[in-house]
Amino acid sequence: MNMVRFILKRLGLALITLWILSVIVFLLGQVLPSDPGRSILGPLAAPSAVHALDHQLGVDKPILTQYWNWISNFPGTSYQYQAPIGPILGPALLRSLKLAIFALIILVPLGIVGGVVSALNAGKPIDRTISVVGQTMLTVPEFVSGIVLIVVFAVALGWLPVTATAPPGSGFFTQIKYLILPVIPLVMVLFGYIARMARVGTIEALQSDYARTATLKGLPRGVMIRRHVLRNSLLPTITVIATQTGYLIGGLVVVETLFRYQGVGLLTYNAATQHDIPMLEACVLTIGVVYMVVTLLADILFSLLNPRIRLRAAE
Amino acid sequence: MSIVDIPVEDAGALQAGRSEIRSEVFRQLLRSPTFVIGAIILIFWIICAIFGTSIAPHSPYAQNLEGINQAPSSAHWFGTDQLGRDMFSRVIVGSRDILIIAPLATLMGTVLGTIVGLVMGYFRGVVDDVLGRFVEAFLALPVVVTGIIALSTLGRSNLVIIVVIGLLFTPLIARTVRAAVLLERELDYVAAARLRGERAPYIMFVEILPNVFAPIMVEFTVRLAYAIFAVLTLTFLGLGVQPPSPDWALDISANYGVVPAGYWWEVLFDALAIATLVVSITLISDSVQGALEE
DSSP A184-233: HHHHHHHHHHHHHHHHHHHHHHHTSHHHHHHHHTT--HHHHIIIIIIHHH
DSSP classification of residue B71: P
Could you give the angle at which helices A86-120 and A231-243 cross, rounded to 10 degrees?
140
Size of interface A-B (CB pairs under 8 A): 139
| Position B28 pLDDT exceeds 90 | no
User: Average pLDDT in the A8-33 region?
Assistant: 79
Could you give the angle at which helices B265-293 and B33-55 cross, rounded to 10 degrees?
140
Q: How many Cβ atoms from other residues are within 10 Å of residue B36's Cβ? A: 15
Rounded-to-integer distance, Cα B288 and Cα B58, Å: 38
CA atoms within 13 A on the CB side of A226: 5
Between B135 and A310, residue with greater pLDDT: B135
Closest CA in chain B for residue A246: B142
Residue among A252, A314, A10 nearest B136 (CA): A10
Sequence letter at residue B24: E
pLDDT digits (tens, 9 = 90+) for A276-298: 888 888 888 888 888 888 888 88
CB contact B282 to A (< 8 Å): yes
Q: Cα dihedral angle (B270, B272, B277, B281), rounded to 10 degrees? A: 140
CATH of domain B8-53+94-293: 1.10.3720.10
DSSP classification of residue B70: P
User: Average pLDDT in the A125-146 region?
Assistant: 87
Residue among B163, B155, B170, B148 nearest B236 (CA): B148
DSSP classification of residue A120: H
CB contact B144 to A (< 8 Å): yes
- The structure's pTM equals 0.81
What pLDDT is attached to residue B273?
Answer: 92
The structural domains of chain B, with segments of one domain joined by +, span 8-53+94-293
The DSSP code sequence of A230-254 is: IHHHHHHHHHHHHHTHHHHHHHHHH
Residue among A63, A36, A34 nearest A49 (CA): A36
| B34 interaction partners in chain A (CB closer than 8 Å) | 132
Sequence letter at residue B42: L
Residues β-bridged to residue A83 = A78
Task: Read off φ and ψ for residue B59, nearest 5 degrees.
Answer: -75, 135
Share of chain A above pLDDT 90, in %: 5
Rounded-to-integer distance, Cα A281 and Cα A26, Å: 7
pLDDT band at B144 (very low <50, low <70, confident <90, very high): confident
| A296 and A243 Cβ atoms separated by less than 8 Å | no
| A295 and A243 Cβ atoms separated by less than 8 Å | yes
Sequence letter at residue B164: V
CB contact B229 to A (< 8 Å): yes
CA distance B130 to chain A (A): 11
| A260 interaction partners in chain B (CB closer than 8 Å) | none
What pLDDT is attached to residue B45?
Answer: 92
The whole-chain average pLDDT of chain B stands at 83
Chosen for mutation from A28, A140, A191 (greatest number of chain B CBs closer than 10 Å) is A140
Of A27-41, A73-87, A203-217, B201-215, least confident by mean pLDDT is A27-41
Chain B from 19 to 78: CB within 8 A of any A CB? 34
pLDDT digits (tens, 9 = 90+) for A227-276: 778 777 777 777 777 777 777 888 888 999 888 888 898 998 888 878 78
Rounded-to-integer distance, Cα A32 and Cα A35, Å: 9
Rounded-to-integer distance, Cα A208 and Cα A202, Å: 10
Q: Where are the beta strands (DSSP E) in chain A?
A: 77-78, 83-84
Cα B166–Cα B91–Cα B258 angle in degrees, nearest 5: 100
pLDDT band at B36 (very low <50, low <70, confident <90, very high): very high
pLDDT digits (tens, 9 = 90+) for B176-202: 888 888 888 888 888 888 888 888 888
